[in-house]
Chain A
Amino acid sequence: MLLPLAQESHAAAAAGGGAMEWLWLVPLLPLLGFVVNGLLSLTSAVTLGPSDPSAAHGAGHGTGHEAAAHSDHPPSGGAHGDDHHPVARHRWAGLVSFVGPAVLLLSFLLSVAIWLQYRASGAHDPFVQRYFTWMLTGTLGIEAALMIDQLSLIMLLVVTGVGTLIHVFSVGYMRDDPGYPRYFAYLNLFVFFMLLLVLGANYPLLFVGWEGVGLCSYLLIGFWFSEKANADAGKKAFIVNRIGDFGFLVAMFLLFANYGSLDFQVLEASVGSQAVLGGALVTTICLFLFLGCTGKSAQIPLYTWLPDAMAGPTPVSALIHAATMVTAGVYLIARSHFLFALAPVASLTVVVIGALTAVFAATIGLKQWDIKKVLAYSTVSQLGYMFVGVGAGAYTAGVFHLVTHAFFKALLFLGSGSVIFAMHRAYHATHSHEDAQDMRNMGGLRKYMPWTWALMWIATLAIAGVPPFAGFFSKDEILASVFMRAQESTLADARWLGIPGDIVLYSCYVLGLAAALMTAIYMTRMMIYTFHGPNRTGETERSHLAEAPWVMTAPLVVLGVASAVGGWLNLPKFLPLGPTETLHHWLEPVNGGSALDITKGSEPALAHSVEYTMVGAAVAIAIFGILFAWRRLRPERLVPKAEARPEEGFERVLANKYYVDELYDRTVVRPTYATSRNLLWRGIDVGLIDGLMVNGSAWVARGAGWLGSALQTGRTGTYAWVLVLGVLAVVGAVTLR
C-alpha cells in the first residue's frame, strides 16, 4: 500500500532494507487495531439475558458516589454496574483483548528490530522514507515521510514498549466495561497518532500526530461521558490544548515564511546558515513553539487540564497523561534543538517555566487526597524537570528523564489503578458509595496487595531520586546540567527580563532541589496513607480487598524492573558502574552539536569533588524528605473521607490548588462567556446580522414597496394631476431653456 518512493541520505543507502523497509508498519499496526476494535465497538454490547442474577443486583446501585465528579470507576470482576456505566462484558471482549495488545506488541517488536538494525549499521544520519506528497501548493511542499533517528528511536521504543504493557494492564482493568472495544479502539488510535508524532519527518506531520493524540486524549478522558464532569474534563483538556496549538501553528507559519520549509532536515540546514544567535525571529519562533509545549505538556500557565484529565480510566492516565503524550512537548523541543540553541532567551524561558512548574505543582501535590490527583500533580512537576533539562540545552538529560519517568510514572499510575480496582471491588461487593480513590479511605493496603505495595515503593524511591533507582540518575543529571550551564553557556551570558542568565539558572537549580524535596515528601505521604497504618476502608469492605489478577500485576513487575535499572541507560562518568553516558553518546548525532553550541564548544564537566557534593546533597534531600514524611505523618490519626473536616489556612489553599481554576474561571472563562453572550450573540449576531442586515434589508424593501403602492391610488384624478404637472414641467423646461 505504501511503498517507499525514494530513500534519502547516505546512511539510508547502507541502512536501508530489512526491518527499516517495514517502518510504515509500525504506526499502521495500531491503526489496524483501531479499525478492528472500532468496528467491533459498533456492535451492541450486552450479552446478558434478563435471567442473569446481576440484573437485579445492578438495580441496588445508585448514583451516590460522593466524588463522582472525579471518580474513576473501574468495572470490577463479574457483570454488574451502577447507573452510570451499566456493566456487562462485551460480546467481543475476547477478540478485543487479543487484538488490542497484539498490534502494540507487534509494533514494539518491529521497533526493536529497526533499532537493532539502525544501531548495527552505525548510521549517524537520519533514515527518511518518503511515501507520497501530502500537500503541494505554491512553494510549500509537504511530504508524507517518516524519519528515524536516534531521538525518534528512543521515543518509538518508549511509546510502543510502555504502551504494550499498559494495553495488557487494560485487559484486566477494563474487561467488564460495556465500552471495552471502544476503549481499545481509542487506545490503539492514540498510539497510532503518537507514533506519527514521533516519526514524522516534518513539522506538519508532527502536528497531525500532535492534534491526533489530543483528540484521543479528549475521547479517553471523557470515556465515561454519561457523567457530565468527565465530559467537561475532556472538553477542558481539548480547549486548553487549542491555546497551545495556536502557538505551534504560528511558529510553523513563521518558520515557513522565513526559511521556506517545514522539513526538519532542510530547516536545520537553513536555520543554521541564516539565523543569528539571539535573533528576534528565532526567539519568537521558539517562544511560540514553547507555548504549544505548555499546552500539550501541562506547564504553567496551561497545566490545569492535566489534573482534571484523571477523570479518564487509570490506564489512560498512565499511558497518555503520564508516560507518552504529555512528553510530546519535551520531544518537540529536543527535535527543535537547532532553533532553541540559537535563542538563549527563549531557552531561559523554558528553564524558568519548567522550574516554576516543578515547584508549584509539587506544593499542590502535598495536600491532595485523591491518589490519582497526587500522581497528576507529580507528573506536572516532573514534566517541569524535563523542560528544565531540554531548555538548558541538556537534551540528553531531558530525554533521559522522559524515559525513566515513563517507567516509574506508568508504574505508579498502574499501581494506583490496581489499588482503585481493589477498592472499587470492595465497595462494590458491599454496595458502599464511598470514594474509591480517596486516600483517607485506604490505609494498610500493604497487607492485602503486597505486590502492588512493593512495586510502588520502587517507583516512589525512583521518583524521589534515591539511588540506585532510575529517577536518581536522570534527575541528578538535569540538576547538574543546569548548574554547569550557569557557569559557562550562551544562556548564562544572556539576560532574561533584565536578570543575568547565570543568576536565573542558579535560581532554577535551587528550585529544582526544592521540588525534589517536596517530591520525596508527597510521594512518601501517598505511600504511607495508601499502604501503611490502619485500614480505613470499612469493617465489611476489608474482607473483599485483594490483589488484582496477574494480567494487571505482570506489567507492573516489568515496569518495576525498568524503574529499578533504568538509570543504567545513562550512567554518569563519576559513577562507572557499567558503560557510562550510553544515552548521551547515542543522542550525540542528533543534537550534540546544538548542545555544544549552547556550552560554547566545551564539553561541560565539573570536578569530581563538586559532583560528589552535589549528588550527596541531592540524595540527602531525597532521603530527608522521605524520613521527614515518615516521621511527621500519622496515618493512624486519619479519618475516612466522610468524617474528615475541611482543611484550614494555607492547607486549604493547597488543597484547592491555589484557586487557579477559579482564577481562570473569573478572568478568562466568564469574560469569554459574557463577551460571547452579550456582545457576539446578542450584539453582533442578533442585533447587527439578524437585526440590521437581514431584517433591515427586508424593511427597506417593504418600505420602498409601500411608497410605490401609495403612489398608485387608482384614482384617475391623481393620475390626471400627475400628468398635468408633468406636462407643465416639460413645457416649462422647453420654454425657459
Chain B
Amino acid sequence: MLAESLFFSAVLFVIGVVGVLTRRNAIIIFMCVELMLNAVNLAFIAFAQVHGIAGQVFVFFVMTVAAAEAAVGLAIIIALFRHKQTVNLDNINLLKG
C-alpha cells in the first residue's frame, strides 16, 4: 500500500514540476505548484500510516501555508495583470537588471 501511494505521489509531483517548468501562464504555474504541494501531502499521509501521526500534523501545516500562499499568490498575479495586461511569464522579466 505504501509503495503505491508513494508512486502516485511522485507521479503527481513530477506532473507539477513539469507543469511549472513548461507552462507560461502564471495561473497554470500556480496550480501546478498547488499540485506539487498536494503530492507532498499525499506522501506525508502515506508515511503517517507507517511511522505514526506526525505526518498528518504536517499535512495540516502544509494546507494552512498553501491557503495563505494561494491568497498572496493570486493577489500578486492580479496586481501583475493590472500592471502588465498579461500573465504570460515570458513577457515578465522585471528581475533582469
**Which A residues fall within an 8 A CB radius of B?**
709, 712-717, 719-721, 724
> Quick one: closest A residue to B26, CB to CB?
A716
Contacts A713-B93, A716-B95, A717-B90 given; 19 further ones with Cβ under 8 A? A712-B95, A712-B96, A712-B97, A714-B93, A714-B94, A714-B95, A714-B97, A715-B89, A715-B90, A715-B92, A715-B95, A716-B89, A716-B92, A717-B21, A717-B24, A719-B95, A720-B20, A720-B21, A724-B21
Sampled A-B contacts (27; CB under 8 Å): A709-B97, A712-B95, A712-B96, A712-B97, A713-B96, A714-B93, A714-B94, A714-B95, A714-B96, A714-B97, A715-B89, A715-B90, A715-B93, A715-B95, A715-B96, A716-B89, A716-B92, A716-B95, A717-B21, A717-B89, A717-B90, A719-B95, A720-B20, A720-B21, A721-B21, A724-B17, A724-B21
Q: What is the CB-to-nearest-CB distance from A583 to chain B, in angstroms, rounded to a whole number? A: 90
Residues of the B chain whose Cβ atoms lie less than 8 Å from the Cβ of A713: 93, 96
Distance in angstroms between the alpha carbons of A715 and B90 in the assembled complex: 6
> Which B residues are CB-close (under 8 A) to A712?
95-97
**Residue of chain B at shortest CB distance from A715:** B93
Bound complex: CA A724 to CA B22 (Å): 12
Contacts of B92 in A (CB 8 A): 715-716
- A691–B10 alpha-carbon span in the complex (Å): 57
Q: How many residues of B contact A (CB 8 A)?
A: 12
Chain B residues with Cβ below 8 Å from A719 are 95
Which chain A residues border B94 with CB–CB below 8 Å? 714
Chain B interface main SS type: loop
What is the chain A residue whose CB lies nearest that of B23? A717
A485 to chain B, nearest CB (A): 88
Q: Which residue of B lies closest to A721 (CB)?
A: B21
A721 and B95 CA atoms in complex are apart in Å by 16
Residues of A within 8 A of B24 (CB): 717
**B:80-94 near A, CB below 8 Å:** 89-90, 92-94
A355 to B58: give the CA distance in the assembly, Å.
Answer: 111
In the bound complex, residues from chain B placing their C-beta under 8 Å from that of A720 are 20-21
Q: How many A-B residue pairs have CB under 8 A?
A: 30
Residue ranges of B at the interface with A (Cβ–Cβ < 8 Å): 17, 20-21, 24, 89-90, 92-97
CA distance A715 to B89 in the complex (A): 7
Across-interface contacts of B17 in A (CB, < 8 A): 724
Q: Quick one: closest B residue to A719, CB to CB?
A: B95
- In the bound assembly, the distance between CA atoms of A709 and B93 in angstroms comes to 13
Contacts of B97 in A (CB 8 A): 709, 712, 714
B1 to chain A, nearest CB (A): 24
Closest to B24 in A: A717
> Measured between alpha carbons, how far is A478 from B20 in the docked complex, in Å?
107
Q: CA–CA, A717 to B93, complex, Å? A: 10
A63 vs B94: C-alpha distance in the bound complex, in angstroms?
75
* Minimal beta-carbon separation of A21 from chain B (angstroms): 82
Q: Which residues of A contact B20 (CB under 8 A)?
A: 720
Distance of A420 from chain B, by nearest CB (Å): 79
Q: Using Cβ atoms and an 8 Å threshold, which residues of chain A touch B21?
A: 717, 720-721, 724
Q: Which residue of A lies closest to B90 (CB)?
A: A715
Q: How far is the CA of A716 from the CA of B94 in the complex (A)?
A: 10
Which residue of chain A is the closest to B96 with respect to CB atoms?
Answer: A714
- B73: min CB distance to chain A, Å: 12
A721 to B89, CA, bound (A): 14
**A714 CB contacts on chain B under 8 angstroms:** 93-97
CB distance from B22 to the nearest CB of A (A): 9
Task: Kindly report which residue of chain B lies nearest to residue A714, judged by CB atoms.
Answer: B96
B97 to chain A, nearest CB (A): 6
In Å, the complex CA distance between A709 and B97 comes to: 8
Q: How far is the CA of A713 from the CA of B94 in the complex (A)?
A: 9
CA distance A225 to B89 in the complex (A): 77
Alpha-carbon distance between A713 and B92 when the two chains are bound, in angstroms = 10
Q: How far is the CA of A712 from the CA of B93 in the complex (A)?
A: 10
- A709 cross-chain contacts in B, Cβ below 8 A: 97
Bound-state CA distance A72–B80 (Å) is 90
Cα(A685)–Cα(B47), bound, Å = 73
Query: How far apart are the CA atoms of A715 and B23 in the complex, in Å?
Result: 13
Min CB gap B48→A, angstroms = 23
A722 to chain B, nearest CB (A): 10
10 closest pairs, A vs B, by CB? Answer: A714-B96, A714-B93, A714-B95, A715-B93, A716-B89, A720-B20, A720-B21, A721-B21, A717-B89, A712-B96
Contacts of A724 in B (CB 8 A): 17, 21
The residue in chain A whose Cβ has the minimal distance to the Cβ of B95 is A714
Complex formed: what's the CA distance from A715 to B24 in Å? 10
Bound CA–CA A714/B90 (angstroms):
9
User: CA A714 – CA B95 in complex, angstroms?
Assistant: 4
